[in-house]
Amino acid sequence: MSFRTYQPSKRTRRRQFGFRARMATKAGRDILRRRRQKGRKRLLPKGVEIPYKRHTVQHGS
């Protein structure tokens, strides 16, 4: 039986494709530069700006 391979996570999406992740590497900065040159309305993918709740309480305590 096949299953869906995409298991979305707001945190991973943000860490991999967010603005700061792009700015952290030369290649990422190049991506942003190309998207600016092209005139993209949004520089980043759609779900990246969605905030996620940070776990402040440790589990089991």
Given this model, what pLDDT does residue 43 score? 94
Domains detected in the chain? 10-45 (1.10.287.3980)
7-56 pLDDT tens trace: 988 888 889 999 999 999 999 999 999 999 999 999 998 888 877 777 67
Cβ proximity of 52 and 11 under 8 Å:
yes
Given this model, what pLDDT does residue 25 score? 96
pTM of the predicted protein model: 0.73
Sequence-ordered list of residues with C-beta below 8 angstroms from that of 15, at least 6 positions apart, any chain? 21
Enter the tokens of residue 57. 């309480």
Q: Distance between CA 14 and CA 41 in Å, rounded?
A: 19
DSSP 44: S
Q: Distance between CA 30 and CA 34 in Å, rounded?
A: 6
